[in-house]
């Protein structure tokens, strides 16, 4: 590793100042300026010396900085080679240390700039290092990571340009699906989803969300299990009708709000979302598997068949992340992460999210690092991520941005301000000039300090850059893990408990009705006799008799009392 830091550069004077950081320090090489080549060698110098070197090309200073920023003796994943002014250095120097993967990251860029391939490249290298990975496949073209790649002209050119030793390889993959059609069925219970995430799925406002929280609290207290959507629907109907009195101690709820909740639940069921909620619930320990050969399992959530339900699948991924946070033990800083979670289409998570939801995402992102989990958000623009979350993403892979409109230009300037400053690149100009498969990369060193941003020509993935065939998907549907979740289980829960309660009440009412005396033959029932007596007592004749009797009794009583006094 070169023990020097660039402290000043003066291209106009064709010189560069270098401060020596380590002892002894020596450096030899060639510098190219236009078509002239200058050879040089610097003898050992004491620490602190400032040397003036010929700066015939900015690339030389850039490469020196890259060598210092990305030491090769630190375990990490390879991203690509440094590029500058159209030139590509033929060494894959740009790397991301494994130990820094838990400091989270952002992969951003316009559509078609290579974000998905970057995700695939990182996932397969993590797997090779024994790190399990979870990622979402929105478009259906990441599943090919399970199959070895094929060489072609583009792959060969990119591998040669970056000096990368490319070898075709497949990786251990389990497919997951929210419908069960393209992978193992992913389910969660309504109770574990909780009121906050359910409110986002149901598209509720703050008032409706608070009512839903009240319902969940009542169910917890009454031991009513909420496993699927039918349980939640049954509970809402019960608490708005026969069980309304049970809800008064919690504050009650209006029938109009209940109506909105029921309509949204029914609408969700009509879209097939009833398959997503229930048992057996997905065991998150299955995400942490390591194969016998030491490679980490890559769990791919196939979303191509639910692309029209972004609110649902993005919330499901957040549920998985929140469950991991709640279940994993504290481990502190590790040499490599226990799991890396790639959150594709991350802007869907924050769109129209309540303040409570944003606070929850920020908390999970901030604290899950200590559980050994790294999170990478993938989106088109950094502005899609709230500042409170963006500030926690230490690693940045920024693909090209386009500036076709005034709003695009504003976003470009905003993005440029979020990237560390450097003298080697004009950040705004570089972001618009990056080609497909190139990115501006800034990572954290093992000391936790951010590197300068380097324009990077990404190395090609070694697995297939395309979707799985139907036959290949079918093979993934019969794995032991897929079979584990294939059959739904419907055990006794809130719906069955309330139905039983209603049935018991109906039986009790019927028994009470049968217990009443039956009508005697030709006579009147006790109720009818009681009604007749009441009618007579309310009649004028009865009142006259009552007055006469009362007067007689009064006079008799007074007479008795007066007689006693005269004695």
For the ranges 29-38, 50-59, 348-357, 466-475, the one whose mean pLDDT is highest:
466-475
pLDDT at 318 over 70: yes
Instruction: Indicate the pLDDT class of residue 543, thresholds 50, 70 and 90.
Output: low
**What pLDDT does 246 receive?**
81
CA 176/CA 485 separation, integer angstroms: 10
pLDDT at 494 over 70: yes
pLDDT at 283 over 50: yes
Helix (H, G, I), strand (E, B) or coil at 136: strand
DSSP string, 462-517: SB-SSPPPHHHHHHHTTSHHHHHTTS-B--S-HHHHHHHHHHHHHHHHHHHHHHSP
**What pLDDT does 564 receive?**
42
Instruction: Indicate the pLDDT class of residue 298, thresholds 50, 70 and 90.
Output: very high
pLDDT tens for 371-398 read: 999 999 999 999 899 999 999 999 999 9
Mean predicted lDDT score pLDDT of the chain: 82
Mean pLDDT of 91-110: 95
pLDDT at 308 over 70: yes
Chain centroid to Cα 148, Å, comes to 29
CA 296/CA 338 separation, integer angstroms: 9
Two structure tokens written together for 381: 């623009």
Two structure tokens written together for 415: 């993005």
Higher pLDDT, 265 or 355: 265
Q: Look at the chain and count its residues.
A: 567
**What pLDDT does 335 receive?**
93
Q: Average the pLDDT over each of 83-92, 276-285, 500-509 and give the range with the smallest value.
A: 500-509
CA 301/CA 297 separation, integer angstroms: 13
40 with 53: CB under 8 angstroms? yes
What is the residue whose two structure tokens read 């941003």? 453
**What pLDDT does 518 receive?**
55
Mean pLDDT of 227-248: 88
Residue 74, burial from CB neighbour count under 10 angstroms (0-12, 13-18, 19+): middle
Helix (H, G, I), strand (E, B) or coil at 56: coil
Q: How close are the terminal C-alpha atoms of the chain, in Å?
A: 134
**What angle is formed at CA 17 by the lines to CA 11 and CA 20, rounded to 5 degrees?**
150
Q: Average the pLDDT over each of 157-161, 232-236, 242-246 and give the range with the smallest value.
A: 242-246
Please choose, from the candidates 199, 352, 348, 317, the residue with its C-alpha nearest in 3D space to the C-alpha of residue 264.
199
**What angle is formed at CA 299 by the lines to CA 298 and CA 305, rounded to 5 degrees?**
135
CA 156/CA 516 separation, integer angstroms: 92
**What pLDDT does 549 receive?**
47
């Amino acid at each position: 590793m070169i023990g020097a830091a660039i402290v000043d550069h003066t291209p106009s004077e064709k010189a560069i100042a270098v401060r020596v950081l380590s002892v002894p320090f020596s450096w030899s090489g060639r510098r190219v300026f236009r078509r002239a080549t200058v050879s040089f060698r610097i003898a050992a110098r004491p620490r602190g010396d400032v040397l003036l070197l010929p700066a015939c090309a900015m690339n030389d200073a850039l490469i020196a900085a890259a060598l210092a920023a990305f030491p090769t003796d630190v375990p990490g994943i390879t991203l690509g080679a440094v590029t500058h002014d159209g030139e590509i250095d033929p060494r894959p120097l740009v790397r991301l240390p494994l130990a820094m993967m838990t400091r989270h990251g952002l992969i951003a860029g316009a559509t078609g700039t290579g974000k998905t391939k970057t995700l695939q490249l990182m996932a397969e290298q993590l797997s090779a290092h024994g790190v399990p990975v979870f990622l979402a496949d929105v478009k259906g073209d990441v599943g090919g990571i399970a199959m070895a790649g094929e060489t072609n002209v583009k792959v060969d050119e990119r591998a040669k340009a970056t000096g990368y030793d490319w070898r075709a390889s497949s990786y251990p993959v389990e497919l997951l699906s929210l419908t069960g059609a393209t992978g193992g069925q992913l389910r969660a219970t309504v109770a574990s989803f909780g009121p906050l995430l359910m409110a986002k799925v149901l598209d509720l406002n703050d008032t409706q969300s608070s009512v839903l929280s009240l319902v969940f609290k009542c169910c917890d207290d009454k031991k009513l299990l909420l496993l699927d959507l039918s349980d939640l629907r049954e509970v809402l109907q019960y608490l708005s009708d026969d069980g309304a009195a049970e809800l008064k101690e919690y504050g009650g709820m209006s029938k109009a709000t209940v109506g909105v909740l029921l309509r949204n639940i029914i609408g969700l069921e009509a879209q097939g979302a009833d398959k997503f909620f229930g048992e057996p619930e997905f065991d998150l320990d299955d995400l942490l598997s390591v194969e016998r050969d030491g490679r980490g399992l890559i769990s791919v959530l196939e979303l191509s068949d639910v692309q029209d339900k972004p609110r649902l699948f993005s919330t499901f991924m957040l549920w998985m992340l929140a469950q991991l946070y709640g279940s994993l033990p504290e481990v502190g800083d590790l040499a490599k992460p226990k799991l890396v979670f790639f959150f594709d289409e991350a802007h869907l998570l924050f769109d129209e999210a309540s303040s409570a939801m944003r606070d929850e995402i920020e908390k999970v992102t901030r604290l899950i690092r200590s559980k050994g989990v790294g999170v990478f958000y993938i989106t088109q623009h950094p502005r899609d991520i709230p500042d409170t979350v963006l500030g926690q993403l230490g690693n940045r892979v920024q693909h090209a941005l386009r500036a076709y409109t005034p709003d695009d230009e504003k976003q470009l300037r905003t993005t440029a301000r979020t990237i560390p400053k450097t003298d080697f690149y004009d950040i705004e100009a570089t972001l618009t000039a990056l080609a497909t498969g190139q990115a501006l990369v800034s990572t954290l060193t093992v000391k936790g300090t951010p590197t300068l941003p380097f324009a990077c020509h990404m190395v090609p993935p070694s697995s297939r850059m395309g979707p799985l065939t139907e036959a290949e998907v079918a093979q993934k549907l019969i794995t032991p893990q897929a079979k584990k979740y294939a059959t739904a289980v419907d055990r006794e829960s809130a719906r069955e408990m309330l139905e039983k309660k209603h049935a018991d009440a109906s039986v009790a009412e019927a028994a009470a009705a049968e217990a009443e005396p039956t009508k005697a033959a030709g006579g009147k029932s006790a109720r009818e006799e009681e009604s007749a007596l009441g009618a007579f007592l309310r009649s004028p004749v009865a009142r006259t008799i009552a007055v006469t009797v009362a007067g007689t009794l009064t006079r008799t009583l007074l007479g008795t009392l007066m007689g006693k006094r005269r004695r």
